[in-house]
Chain A
Amino acid sequence: GAVVSQHPSRVICKSGTSVKIECRSLDFQATTMFWYRQFPKQSLMLMATSNEGSKATYEQGVEKDKFLINHASLTLSTLTVTSAHPEDSSFYICSARRWRANTEAFFGQGTRLTVV
């Protein structure tokens, strides 16, 4: 089956610093990757859609300058949380779809970000 690897699984950073989260499709090409944020016991909230070779599309209310997304290749998308604050602490999940197969999405294992 298709595998999406997300790294790191956990990260603790100091307030004011930046942290990068990677999302890789290991055995397929993903033209589109999605980034979600999930608060405890809540649903997944879509933050942005990342398309290879073009700018990401952000959902309403998501600060694009704070959550920088780069999708430089068909197998890698990154989310950088800039100038992190404690309120950015959350669980971040990426997902990817296969090239030319716009149905099932495969999810990474998620990243728990704690800003202290």
Chain B
Amino acid sequence: AQTVTQSQPEMSVQEAETVTLSCTYDTSESDYYLFWYKQPPSRQMILVIRQEAYKQQNATENRFSVNFQKAAKSFSLKISDSQLGDAAMYFCAYLDGATNKLIFGTGTLLAVQP
């Protein structure tokens, strides 16, 4: 079964600095989707970025980018120029193409220090 692991329960970053959140996953599939979701204190799940496994190019959305290493099954999220509003719980997720289920990691709580 597919699993998603986030090894950093909590992270902290200074405002305007860069932080990288780690995520690894396990799958035997060759084609799949990976996501990073943000959950602020409001608890609304917000999509941050998406990566298709068949694309070698790393996805980028403004200050958010990923380092997708397919062979290593690693999918880290880099947040540049961190802002106070980036403080949230971040979940890495894998989309199981066969069942359409999203499999979430345990989350990383990111604090942004002013």
Please list the residues of chain A having a beta carbon within 8 angstroms of any beta carbon in chain B: 32, 34, 38, 41-44, 46, 49, 91, 93, 95, 97, 102-105, 107, 109-110
Contact = CB atoms under 8 A, between A and B. Distances in A.
B97 A110 contact: no
A46 B101 contact: yes
Interface band, chain B: 20 to 34
Interface of B: 33, 35, 42-47, 50, 89, 91, 95, 97, 99-102, 104-107, 109
Contacts of B45: 44, 93, 95, 107
Contacts of B35: 104
Main DSSP-derived SS at the B contact region: strand
A103 B50 CA distance: 9
11 contacts: A41-B89, A41-B109, A46-B102, A97-B100, A102-B97, A103-B50, A107-B45, A107-B46, A109-B42, A110-B43, A110-B44
Contact of A43 (B43, B100, B101, B105): B105
Contact of B104 (A44, A97, A104, A109): A44
A38 B95 CA distance: 19
A111 to B, nearest CB: 10
A91 B105 contact: no
Contacts of A34: 101-102
